Amino acid sequence: MVIDLDAWIRRLDSAVERARAADPTPDALATAGDEFGHRRQIDRALLAWRSRNSASVGVVSTLEATGSIQTDNASTDVRLFEALCDGHIDIDALLGPGPTLLEMDLRTIEVQTERQLIAMHACWALSRVRMRPDLRSRTLASARWFIEHLQPDNATNHPWALHVFLLLSHIDDALAGEAELYADTMLVNAQVSLGRADRFSRVILEDCASELRAFVSAEHDR
């Protein structure tokens, strides 16, 4: 089975544009949170990374209001995202022994699943930015574990690491169908509440599309 990454990029772009068009203040994540008034530890680090990984003027302008991306008492998944903009952070000291990227803990399944997916999302980008093929392999191994042990409905409808499952589908023929279905379910779930992606999920989808573009571009350059 050959997955069409270009078609997926177009699909993500469409979801992003639909969400942006329906949002009266699409660039207000940094200052006002999402449509539900939620603000999270991860917001600043995500926006800081988007300002580097995207030419979007809107993302850059919202970042100016956030100040430093360093977050007091940040959780490990947030620190991994901060490491994308801070080369001094020791990512190996943050990672668990496996099979998942972070140590498993006793939090609720929804919270723990989202933390692990955020770590996967960050670590895929870190493997590229820091030229760490070993980290790419670990991230794909974590995605394989997720497919075997957890349903995509266990998360909180934010499409973290959606692109990792698509790339696993592209790379691993044995899991191609399951991995793409996992990603498809995540995209559908991210749009259920409002009939589109919320402001926070839209930024995540933008980054998923950017990572897919980076992968496709590197493949073409080989």
Q: What is the pTM of this model?
A: 0.90
d(CA 70, CA 177): 39
The answer to whether the bond into 99 is cis (omega within 30° of 0) is yes
Mean pLDDT by groups of 10 residues along the chain of 222 residues: 91 97 90 90 93 55 42 86 93 91 78 92 97 97 93 81 98 95 95 95 97 94 78
Nearest of 147, 87, 84, 71 to residue 116 by alpha carbon = 147
